[in-house]
Structure 1
């Protein structure tokens, strides 16, 4: 039986859905990341609505949040509020991080989409989808923006390509092979 709550990428990165729901602070998604290699995990980006919080359980992660560099060791927690540019790198092999997203929007679906593209060999070594339509759909599901590129330009270019990807069946092809939250 397949475990739909754990996604393993070709580079060994494992993302496990730990919990999702609503508490006194609103809707949340909790994930665990196991990062086998020391490497960049996410380039500079920001989210208009959601905030992220990471707690390092094992290893070390370097974050840049709103221009400030933070080295997080086991037990340390780092937060990126909505509208704050952030990026991060794992700096030790076999790093384990708890990741909370509020509100989750479509973050789990984004990881599922990315995983399905990766497992099919449709991404580069850095994990970037080779197909511009798949890249645009992944951008759409991350519910955020790349830093340094005007949001209006991303909405126009990538948002437009994401709509074309939807019409061409990319969501059905790359997302509906696993289950959504629920």
Structure 2
């Protein structure tokens, strides 16, 4: 007997369509000195995935150290270089490089270089997309994104912003772990 699509699956599939974003038709939005545009807001994936393109100006620090309680991130660099930090180490990623950040890994990114950097950011599940809109609302037009505003906005979206003391604790933890791995 040949398999057939059940009625429920058939009815559900009628509600679906392929998502398509043309970045050149999506205007940049501003978070102080940073630019972003939402390529997929989660509406095509029941918020299992969102995709954002971000541009970071040269010689800029990026967000505060933080970790996410509920979503993983991917970063695909398309222009310039982005420095991805975890406590005690960093990776410089250039065009074509992909960086993934799992839930609960403390991280941040920056652009300490002389050229604008651009990356595509995936977030799964995609509810964190609202963070960008909320942060934009908090800082308003033409204002600078401050550490304090960044930390306050992160807290609303299952994200833990780290104080300098917390970053130091993580650095010590990773140093202890490295010593154990290396047999010291």
TM-score, normalised via structure 2 length: 0.63
Which residue of 60, 63, 67 corresponds with 2:84? 63
What do the CA deviations read for 1:81-121 (whole angstroms, capped 9, x no partner)?
Answer: 0011111111333211100001122x222111211222256
Any conservation in 2 of the 1:56–1:77 contact (CA below 8 Å)?
yes
Which residue of 115, 122, 136 corresponds with 1:100? 122
User: How has the CA–CA distance of structure 1 residues 90 and 65 changed in structure 2, closer, same or farther, with 3 Å as cutoff?
Assistant: same
- The alignment status of 1:22 with 2:38, answered yes or no, reads no
Higher strand fraction (1 or 2) = 1
Across the aligned residues of Structure 1 and Structure 2, the Cα RMSD in angstroms comes to 2.9
CA distance, structure 2, for counterparts of residue 52 and residue 66 of structure 1? 17
Q: Which runs of 5+ in 1 are unaligned?
A: 151-182
What do the CA deviations read for 1:35-83 (whole angstroms, capped 9, x no partner)?
Answer: 1232111221101120111011000011123644111011111111001
User: How has the CA–CA distance of structure 1 residues 81 and 16 changed in structure 2, closer, same or farther, with 3 Å as cutoff?
Assistant: same
Any conservation in 2 of the 1:62–1:72 contact (CA below 8 Å)?
yes
Any conservation in 2 of the 1:7–1:112 contact (CA below 8 Å)?
no
Q: Which residue of 2 aligns with 1:36?
A: 57
Q: Which residue of 2 aligns with 1:126?
A: 146
User: Where does structure 1 differ by over 6 angstroms across 4 or more consecutive aligned residues?
Assistant: none
Which residue of 83, 90, 96 corresponds with 2:104? 83
Q: Which residue of 1 aligns with 2:157?
A: 142
Which residue of 9, 25, 28 corresponds with 2:31? 9
CA distance, structure 2, for counterparts of residue 74 and residue 97 of structure 1? 8
TM-score, normalised via structure 1 length: 0.64
Any conservation in 1 of the 2:31–2:144 contact (CA below 8 Å)?
no
User: How has the CA–CA distance of structure 1 residues 5 and 82 changed in structure 2, closer, same or farther, with 3 Å as cutoff?
Assistant: farther
Any conservation in 1 of the 2:64–2:147 contact (CA below 8 Å)?
no
Count of paired positions: 138
Which residue of 58, 66, 87 corresponds with 1:45? 66
Any conservation in 2 of the 1:60–1:74 contact (CA below 8 Å)?
yes
Q: Deviation at 1:135? A: 6.2
Q: Deviation at 1:28? A: 0.4
CA distance, structure 2, for counterparts of residue 10 and residue 126 of structure 1? 9
